[in-house]
Amino acid sequence: MALTGVLRAGFVQIRVLEMDEALPHYEGRIGLDLVEKCEDGRVYLKGYDEFDHHSIILREADAPGVDLMAFKVAAESDLDSFEKRVTDYGVAVDHVAAGEQPGVGRRIGFTLPTGHRIELYAEMARSENGPFTDNPDIWRDEPRGMRALGFDHCLMYGPNVAEVLRFFTEALDFSLVEKVQTPDGPIAVWLTSSTKSHEIAFVEHAEPGKFHHVSFLLESWNDVGHAADIISRYDISRDVGPTRHGITRGQTVYFFDPSGNRNEVFSGGYSYFPDHPTRVWTPDQLGKGIFYYEKELNDRFLGVVT
């Protein structure tokens, strides 16, 4: 196996204000499949093209935002080796028992200098509703809503991005795919553990632990347009797009869930390999980097977070 250690972004637990607004949005409009609702109130969902039990967890709370994001590692033994490496790096590691989420094995967790909780896990049960594997049809039931294939990545806002970059590359073996560089250091970084253009990204922000967006993969630019049609038809709160990013080259539209958490659906972007150089943006070109067609940022995209 060529891909070792951290495989990919596995799941994210998102806080929502009112579940009766949130679930129809994620299930009906984005098109995720409901996996189960548990007694503690958390609701588990997955994209139709994902093999594992779940990738999105919704938790009703007094304030929206992100509880934690977890990465899947290749083997059980990776949890022990990463625990040692993260501890040796100087970051405290704690443990979450198997079964705290349905179908998920033991996890290790830690808090980043940006204030975000990250967890690693090796085991998750296969979904009974995952993609076919024998002479496989392309899906079981025709995709719904925006036809999201699955969870792709998150963008987090918080302080100490330069330190988080060093942690991800030195302790977790991530690669720096793109960055926005100032004379004082990087202010935004796109990081990957795989051939995806990013598994997680960070933007420098004074307040720790903030959530900029969760992103879902679509099959095509046409599906981004279809998602925008759904946004208009159902009066979903649109933020920006459809447009394209200079950074990662993804074709995208941004909108908000009913609790104000930003969502992205996107397609395209390039593949990354570990021998590739980092692409570097200067702050004066950031407008083009973020929105390649408009070539300018807006205050809401820059500043509104949960």
Partner 1 sequence: MAEQFTISFEGSVENFSCPKYARVLFAMEKQGLSHIPVGCRGGGCGTCRVIVTQGRYRTRKMSRVHVSEDQKRAGYVLACRLIPESDLLLRLAGDGPGV
- Contact residues for partner 1 (CB under 8 A)? 17-18, 21, 62-65, 235, 237, 256-262, 299-300, 302-306
User: CB of 229: closest distance to partner 1 in angstroms?
Assistant: 19
- Active-site residue 60, yes or no? no
Rounded-to-integer distance, Cα 49 and Cα 199, Å:
17
Instruction: Please answer whether residues 250 and 267 qualify as being in contact, where contact means their C-beta atoms are separated by less than 8 angstroms.
Output: yes
- Active-site residue 198, yes or no? yes
Q: Which of 26, 53, 264, 272 is catalytic?
A: 264
User: CB of 26: closest distance to partner 1 in angstroms?
Assistant: 13
- Whether the bond into 242 is cis, omega within 30 of 0: yes
User: Judged by CB, which is closer to partner 1: 146, or 176?
Assistant: 146
User: Judged by CB, which is closer to partner 1: 254, or 272?
Assistant: 254
- Active-site residue 213, yes or no? yes
User: CB of 226: closest distance to partner 1 in angstroms?
Assistant: 22
- Active-site residue 205, yes or no? no
Q: Which of 121, 157, 254, 272 is catalytic?
A: 254
- Active-site residue 245, yes or no? yes
In this structure, what are the phi and psi dihedrals at residue 183, rounded to the nearest 5 degrees? -55, -25
Instruction: Please answer whether residues 46 and 104 qualify as being in contact, where contact means their C-beta atoms are separated by less than 8 angstroms.
Output: no
Q: Which of 53, 54, 212, 213 is catalytic?
A: 213
User: Judged by CB, which is closer to partner 1: 6, or 214?
Assistant: 214
- Active-site residue 153, yes or no? yes
User: CB of 301: closest distance to partner 1 in angstroms?
Assistant: 9
User: CB of 203: closest distance to partner 1 in angstroms?
Assistant: 13
The beta-strand segments (E) located in the chain are 6-16, 33-37, 43-46, 56-60, 65-73, 94-96, 107-111, 117-121, 150-158, 175-182, 185-192, 200-204, 210-217, 238-244, 250-256, 262-268, 279-281
Q: Which of 245, 272, 276, 292 is catalytic?
A: 245
User: Judged by CB, which is closer to partner 1: 14, or 224?
Assistant: 14
Strands 65-73 and 175-182, by their bridges, are unpaired
Find all residues with CB under 8 Å of 129, minimum gap 6, and list them. Answer: 33, 35, 46, 48, 140
| 181 CB-side CA count, 13 A | 9
Q: Which of 198, 205, 212, 226 is catalytic?
A: 198
Instruction: Give me the active site residues, please.
Output: 153, 198, 213, 245, 254, 264
